[in-house]
A and B are shown apart, each in its own frame.
Chain A
Amino acid sequence: QKEVEQNSGPLSVPEGAIASLNCTYSDRGSQSFFWYRQYSGKSPELIMFIYSNGDKEDGRFTAQLNKASQYVSLLIRDSQPSDSATYLCAVNINSGGYQKVTFGTGTKLQVIP
């Protein structure tokens, strides 16, 4: 089982719809969870982080965390073509006494005008 798993997509949604991106992780002891956005040819950019169960909202973005199910998701409301990018889920994984940030392979999102 991979430490952090995401569907590679592409996930296509029409402009104005809600895009839902999902991620599961294997380490029950993980405490911190991140979503990064990566445009083609660019470097990843941190857009959300969450460490408590429940929802965290920031503008059009909502991160949801369920530690019991080892599941974290990102919702993008009112999706715009400019949201088209690859979204990377990252988790702090306990590794030999320290925390290592481990990334999923990313989900490619396409917002259709």
Chain B
Amino acid sequence: NAGVMQNPRHLVRRRGQEARLRCSPMKGHSHVYWYRQLPEEGLKFMVYLQKENIIDESGMPKERFSAEFPKEGPSILRIQQVVRGDSAAYFCASSPPGALKKLFFGSGTQLSVL
């Protein structure tokens, strides 16, 4: 049973380009969360999605950032017109349906903006 798969592991973009980060949840998991982490800092919640629905995007900047979790395929976190301040590790986590909400994390995508 494969774990949460994130790709790419490392992504380098120049200022103004677009970054697309992908996350395939564990089999049977219908909930996906995206977190951002700066060095030596905690996990900052960005967005919580279920299949085809955004449940909570309160942690995601209103401009340039978007997320989706389509019926088929991985969840995508998209950052348009990246700036240096977007450089961070982006972690995706999935959880099964139910109230317990145990999260299983992918290996993360390290985004570097030049």
Contact = CB atoms under 8 A, between A and B. Distances in A.
Contacts, number: 54
Interface stretch (B68-76, B79-87, B95-103): B95-103
A88 B103 contact: no
Contacts of B93: 44
Contact of B56 (A42, A90, A100): A100
A44 B105 contact: yes
Contact of A34 (B41, B45, B55, B102): B102
A81 B97 CA distance: 36
B104 A101 contact: no
B56 A96 contact: yes
Interface in A10-46: 31-32, 34, 36, 42-46
Contacts of A31: 99
A103 B48 CA distance: 14
B43 interface: yes
Instruction: Report, as a range, how many residues of chain A touch the other chain.
Output: 20 to 34
Interface in A73-113: 88, 90, 92, 95-96, 98-106
B42 interface: yes
The residue in A43, A46, A49, A100 that gathers the most chain B C-beta atoms within 10 A of its C-beta is: A43
Interface of A: 31-32, 34, 36, 42-46, 49, 51, 88, 90, 92, 95-96, 98-106
Interface of B: 33, 35, 41-43, 45, 48, 55-56, 91, 93, 95, 99-108
Given A42-B107, A92-B101, 15 more contacts: A32-B99, A34-B102, A44-B43, A44-B93, A44-B103, A49-B102, A98-B55, A100-B45, A100-B48, A100-B56, A102-B45, A103-B35, A103-B43, A105-B41, A105-B42
